[in-house]
């Protein structure tokens, strides 16, 4: 009978794969919930950003529709596209919400060019906190 070879690297690799699987499942669940509740989340996010004076817009409806459209596309993003989008803000906070990171960068990078968007105020952390105050409901409890 052969002796089972258990090495530290094998145990470490197994643990890392388990953590990665858990994070991937959590992310897929959050994306699914975001898509399922796109309309109310978009309305709440735009209202929160307006209330906190983070954004200044000419048409709330058009901005809300753009955010809702992005929420619906979230589940279809490729891993590379997602990682490229959140890379500039990945280290903004410890243990970040991936949906909040994505939408923070979406606001700063893409939505600023929307014809109905006048300006975005505050730094990246201010935008993240406002976005995360809406999207933290998507994150499963620890």
pLDDT in tens, 26-61: 888 999 999 999 999 999 999 999 999 999 999 999
State the Cα–Cα distance between residues 97 and 44, nearest whole angstrom: 17
Does a structural domain hold residue 61? yes
What total number of domains does the chain contain?
1
The answer to whether residue 3 is domain-embedded is no
Residue 1 covered by a domain? no
pTM of the model: 0.84
Residue with tokens 């006048």: 118
The predicted pLDDT at position 1 comes to 46
Inside any domain, residue 25? yes
42: in domain? yes
| 37 occurs within a structural domain | yes
DSSP string, 5-21: ---HHHHHHHHHHHHHH
Q: Is residue 106 part of a domain?
A: yes
pLDDT in tens, 77-103: 888 998 999 999 999 888 888 999 999
Angle at 102 between CA 99 and CA 104, to 5 degrees: 105
Residue-range definition of the domain harbouring residue 23: 8-138
- Is residue 108 a contact partner of residue 85, using CB atoms and an 8 Å limit? no
């Amino acid at each position: 009978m052969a002796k089972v070879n258990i090495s530290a690297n094998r145990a470490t690799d197994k643990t890392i794969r388990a953590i990665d699987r858990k994070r991937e499942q959590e992310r897929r669940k959050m994306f699914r919930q975001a898509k399922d509740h796109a309309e109310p989340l978009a309305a709440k996010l735009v209202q929160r950003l307006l209330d906190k004076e983070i954004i200044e817009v000419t048409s709330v409806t058009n901005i809300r529709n753009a955010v809702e459209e992005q929420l619906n596309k979230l589940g279809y993003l490729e891993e590379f596209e997602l990682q490229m989008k959140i890379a500039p803000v990945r280290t903004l906070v410890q243990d970040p919400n991936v949906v909040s990171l994505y939408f923070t960068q979406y606001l700063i990078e893409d939505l600023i060019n929307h014809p109905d968007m006048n300006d975005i105020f505050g730094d990246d952390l201010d935008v993240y906190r406002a976005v995360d105050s809406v999207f933290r409901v998507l994150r499963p409890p620890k």
